[in-house]
Structure 1
Amino acid sequence: MRLREFWQLVDEVFGPGYGRALAREQVLDALGDRTSVEALEAGLPPRDVWHALCDALDVPDDRRWGADVRRQAPPPSR
């Protein structure tokens, strides 16, 4: 997943206003007590950040990839 795709999914799944606020303000344990924006700035892969955000907010698998069913990605490596 590219950074551009991460932001497209944030906008599509959560809505542009709410999604961007979540990415800036929601601190996630899975990201080392960082926000999504901080984790991305620290160099974490966008795919891992996306999964952490979705896990924290209990986004079901069928909603994680927005409307494009071809936009599937494997779960993050752990």
Structure 2
Amino acid sequence: MRLSDFWDRMRRHFGETYAESWAKDFVIARLGGRTVEQALADGFSAKEVWQAVCEIEDVDPKLR
């Protein structure tokens, strides 16, 4: 998954404004206690981060 695809899915799920805020503030245990932004900066793949988001959020199956 490309990073642009990841952010497109985040915006489609959370909304244009909230996606970036959520990515900055919400800590995900599966990502070692990192936020989305931290995990991506630390080298986690976009696909791995998206899967972690999908595990804790009720993401539309079309976006999974």
> Does TM-score exceed 0.5, indicating one fold?
yes
Partner of 2:22: 22
Task: Pick the structure with more strand per residue.
Answer: 2
Gaps of 5+ in 2: none
Root-mean-square deviation (CA, aligned residues, Å) is 1.4
Partner of 2:57: 57
Gaps of 5+ in 1: 66-71, 73-78
Q: State the one-letter code of the partner of 2:12.
A: E
Structure 2 distance, partners of 1:22, 1:55, is 15
Task: Pick the structure with more helix per residue.
Answer: 2
Q: Which runs of 4+ in 1 moved over 2 A?
A: none
Structure 2 distance, partners of 1:4, 1:59, is 18
Scaled by the length of structure 2, the TM-score of the pair is 0.88
Higher Cα Rg: structure 1 or 2?
1
